[in-house]
Chain A
């Protein structure tokens, strides 16, 4: 079965880059420009395996999105990876405590993202 991922970032360029990387891993990717829109997509019933989540977005932040998602047991299997310019250790702790599974600081490159995803069992040679 094809794996599905959400890429949540208000930057279209970043969504394109991240979608390209995940596409290369065999994911079917859907983009969302903020946390609220991403929640709408989840609530519409489609199941996703992975979400890459920016922190600072206009309507609902990535942090709030993580908090909302983790309130819902039906999304328990969704892996959440923060991909953000927030590089303070306190921010990282908050995100992990709220239920993010991994955290990558911008700027990053493809290799770094793949290494982080490997920690979650997501690998390039899967399909």
Chain B
């Protein structure tokens, strides 16, 4: 029994309760090593809500029907790590190859691009895509650009919609010429300009529920998110991605992620140092 020690100051019973709650509502799988993570993320809620301790907070969760505190806990457990142009190579591929190719194909037909960022956190990912689009498509105002961004967390969506970032956030990964071009500085805050902000439509979406707001799209970003789900959930989500991706569209995953051994109907396509995934034969079934 090594897991008890790893659950930090949580009892196994409390840890199991949180684990079940999280699995039921957000489909995220927490293994026994995540006790410390749960404690550290729940502590601010316990303190802020006047519960005194994480144990008392969990006792509250047990004794009440699902409500605001439960939601707060679920959102706190979800990892929100993100940055502008994270890992850069996928954005380089978008800028140099993928978007120019799509534009060429769609120019004489729909003149429309649809892109969905499925775990957008505080918005850096869809806003990075928006900036790339503005850079690459000179006549962007004559195109219909549908740039959708969703996240499990309502609090994150609210933050993302504001388009206001700290110096620490714009100092990470964002090319300086884009910072100067697309942001206004207000003291230590950096406000995204309307021309970029208004391109993105944000909404809350649990990836393991119905995707009622997701149309057919050219690009799906699911970066560093499937890792938090168990294998069956990952497969289920990838099947849905295939149904929503156009045949010549791409799935973009995290730098260390792959569809391999999860869903072999995706075809890996290399663009420089970035790998994208295209729905192959038999997709949409």
Asked if residues B173 and A89 are in contact (CB atoms below 8 Å), the reply is no
CB-based contact A115/B88 at 8 Å: yes
Count how many chain B residues have C-beta atoms less than 8 Å from C-beta atoms of the other chain. 16
Q: Tell me if A14 is interfacial: C-beta within 8 Å of chain B.
A: no
Q: How many residues of A contact B (CB 8 A)?
A: 18
Total contacts A-B at CB 8 Å: 39
CB of B176 within 8 A of CB of A103, answer yes
Q: List the one stretch of B67-75, B177-185, B218-226, B237-245 in contact with chain A.
A: B177-185
Contact: A87 with B167, CB < 8 Å? yes
Query: Smallest CB–CB gap between B88 and chain A, Å?
Result: 5
Contact A102 B175 (CB under 8 A): yes
CA–CA, A100 to B177, complex, Å?
Answer: 10
Q: Is B171 an interface residue (CB 8 A)?
A: yes
- Nearest A residue to B190, CB-CB: A89
Contact mask for chain A residues 104-119; partner B; CB cutoff 8 A; 1 contact, 0 none: 1100100110011011
Chain A residue numbers with a CB within 8 Å of B106 are none
Pairwise interchain contact B171-A112, C-beta atoms closer than 8 A: yes
B177, B183, B184, B185: most-surrounded residue (chain A CB, <10 A): B177
Within the complex, the shortest CB–CB distance from A81 to chain B, in Å, comes to 9
Assess A118 versus B176: contact at CB under 8 Å? Given A105-B167, A108-B171.
no
Q: Are A118's CB and B88's CB within 8 A?
A: yes
- How far apart are the CA atoms of A116 and B85 in the complex, in Å? 10
**A96 in contact with B167 given A112-B172, A115-B88 (CB within 8 Å):** no
Given A89-B183, A92-B179, A92-B180: A115 and B167 interface contact (C-beta under 8 Å): no
Given the interface contacts A89-B180, A93-B180, does A119 sit within 8 Å of B175 by beta carbon?
yes
Inter-chain CA distance A108–B169, complex, in Å, is 11
Interface string of A12-27 (1 = CB under 8 A from B): 0000000000000000
Task: Provide the bound-state CA to CA distance between A116 and B69, in Å.
Answer: 39
Q: Contact residues of B with A, CB < 8 Å? A: 83, 85, 88, 167, 171-173, 175-177, 179-180, 183-185, 188
Given A87-B167, A115-B88, 16 extra CB contacts under 8 A: A88-B185, A89-B179, A89-B180, A89-B184, A92-B176, A102-B175, A104-B171, A108-B171, A115-B85, A115-B172, A116-B173, A118-B88, A118-B173, A119-B85, A119-B173, A119-B175
